[in-house]
Amino acid sequence: MLFLRKILYPFSIIYDVVTSVRNFFFDKGIFKSKSYDLPILAVGNLCVGGTGKSPMIEYLVRLLKDEFRIATLSRGYRRKSEGFVLGRASSTADDLGDEPMQFYQKFSDINVAVDADRQNGISQLIQQVNPDVILLDDAFQHRKVTAGFYVLLTKYDSLFVDDLILPAGDLRESKRGAKRANSIVVTKCPKDISLEEQARIRKKINPLSSQQVFFTCISYAKDVIRGSESRLLTSLNSLKFTLVTGIANPKPLVKYLNGLNLNFEHISYKDHHNFSVKELKELSEKQLVITTEKDYMRLKDSLTNVFYLPIVTEFLNDKNDFNESVLSFVRT
């Protein structure tokens, strides 16, 4: 792997130059970026892969929805529709993409939209639903829109400061891009991470004086869910089930289920996998399928034996500081 990175490193230099010039042109106003009168929060990362963007969007929805009219706007990765689509009762994961569909089904009192053109998506949301706040999902590199508040996510076991730019590493742009963030959130931390370790990571990230660094972990529910039906995870210890994942990194989930001494086989697909007819038939023949909430959005209409395990973002400390920084921005 190290040898391969050395071979690819010259291409990373080229990629760095291209993305840095692009960011410079946006910073200087040569490339135009549009601002809006309503509060817009963008959640994203510097690297490819899963850093917990969807759980963070859901955290922000829960924080804000009782006080404000919320809309989320995503690209709708691997959906089969095109252009701007606003979630409706008839919408499916093919229309919205798996993660936006997850938002739509979980929160009945918000608007969920998808559009690869974020400027058009925002304009359509303003015209059609007039939200108080828009949450942009995976939008840190979408410089054509200037959000008022940026939440940058980075995983505990692969911090952006330790990474290289594509293709030698996983960074979409230079580490310098972190300067655009208002808050930097280290995600998927161990629940028992010490304050000393947090201080070490904070020093390593070296935030600007205007930035705050927070630490979160993923908490798993005690029940698996299918529609209005739920089953305790611990009730599954008497049978062997099939764990199906189409996410960037299933290792934490596998580790969690192994820690409960559950008996399961694991079938792993690539992130945002679209299941074939053959794969769905094979899964339908399993006794019980447990999957992630995101994957459930693509499986629920085809399988009657599938449940999902919900997850939530949990702040390890300084939760009130994070909440207040977001609320202060939105209320201003």
How do the domains of the chain map onto residue ranges? 2-68+132-219+315-331, 223-309
Question: What is the number of other CB atoms lying within 10 angstroms of the CB of residue 99?
Answer: 27
How confident is residue 1, by pLDDT bands cut at 50, 70 and 90? low
pTM above 0.95, yes or no: no
Average of per-residue pLDDT across 36-59: 95
Give residue 227's identity as a one-letter amino acid code: G
Across the chain, what does the average pLDDT equal? 95
Is the confidence at residue 147, as pLDDT, over 90? yes
What SS3 class is residue 238?
helix
Q: How far is CA 7 from the centre of its chain?
A: 31
How confident is residue 74, by pLDDT bands cut at 50, 70 and 90? very high
Least confident stretch, 7-11, 43-47, 80-84, 320-324 = 7-11
Average of per-residue pLDDT across 175-187: 98
Which pLDDT tens digit goes with each residue over 262-299? 999 999 999 889 899 999 999 999 999 999 999 999 99
Q: Cβ(100)–Cβ(114) under 8 Å?
A: yes
Which residues are within 8 A (CB) of 121 and not within 5 positions of it... i.e. 6 or more apart? Answer: 73, 84, 113, 114, 115
In the prediction, which pLDDT does 291 show? 98
How confident is residue 4, by pLDDT bands cut at 50, 70 and 90? confident
Please state, in angstroms and rounded to a whole number, the distance separating the CA atoms of residues 191 and 91.
36
Peptide bond into 167 cis (omega under 30): yes
> 199: burial class by Cβ within 10 Å (0-12, 13-18, 19+)?
exposed
In the prediction, which pLDDT does 6 show? 72
**CATH classification number, 2-68+132-219+315-331, choose in 3.30.70, 3.40.50, 3.90.1170, 3.40.720:** 3.40.50
Q: How far is CA 10 from the centre of its chain?
A: 30
In the prediction, which pLDDT does 310 show? 95
Question: What is the number of other CB atoms lying within 10 angstroms of the CB of residue 209?
Answer: 4
In the prediction, which pLDDT does 249 show? 87
Is the confidence at residue 238, as pLDDT, over 90? no
In the prediction, which pLDDT does 143 show? 97
Q: Could you give the count of Cα atoms lying within 13 Å of 319 in the half-sphere of its Cβ? A: 11
Average of per-residue pLDDT across 120-135: 98
Average of per-residue pLDDT across 140-148: 97
CATH architecture for segment(s) 223-309:
3-Layer(aba) Sandwich (3.40)
Least confident stretch, 1-5, 189-193, 275-279 = 1-5
* DSSP notation for 242-260: EEEE-SS--HHHHHHHHHT
Q: How far is CA 17 from the centre of its chain?
A: 27
Do the two domains 2-68+132-219+315-331 and 223-309 of this chain adopt the same fold?
A: yes
Q: Cβ(85)–Cβ(77) under 8 Å?
A: no
Burial of 144-167, coded b for 16+ CB within 10 Å and e otherwise, reads: ebbbbbbbbbbbbeebbeebbbbe
C-alpha distances in angstroms, 28 versus 22, 34, 153, 173, 196? 10, 13, 25, 17, 39
